[in-house]
Amino acid sequence: METVKGMQQERAAQVFIDTFAQLLASGELMLSKNMCEPEEPRPGTTIVGYLDEGFVYLLPDVAHRAVVQVQPIRFNTPAIGA
């Protein structure tokens, strides 16, 4: 039972990551390069976190809200592929 639950969570996480990556690639979301003084985002672009020395620091609520608008993540059996 734990294995199935772990796989379901892994699939839901992968859906989130894939959608998040697509939103970054499209320019709808962006990562700021300066935590102290974030640059002004282009119109229609949302800053969802910061990039610092190879690490990404996400604003979790902002990132989740952006992904769910595009790809509702429902944690039920059909959504996670079980």
pLDDT in tens, 22-81: 999 999 999 998 877 878 888 989 999 999 888 999 998 999 999 989 888 765 445 444
pTM of the model as a whole:
0.74
- Res 34: pLDDT: 80
- Give the other-Cβ count within 10 Å of 22's Cβ: 14
- Res 1: pLDDT: 55
- Res 66: pLDDT: 92
- Res 53: pLDDT: 87
CB 30 within 8 A of CB 41: yes
- Res 80: pLDDT: 44
CB 46 within 8 A of CB 66: yes
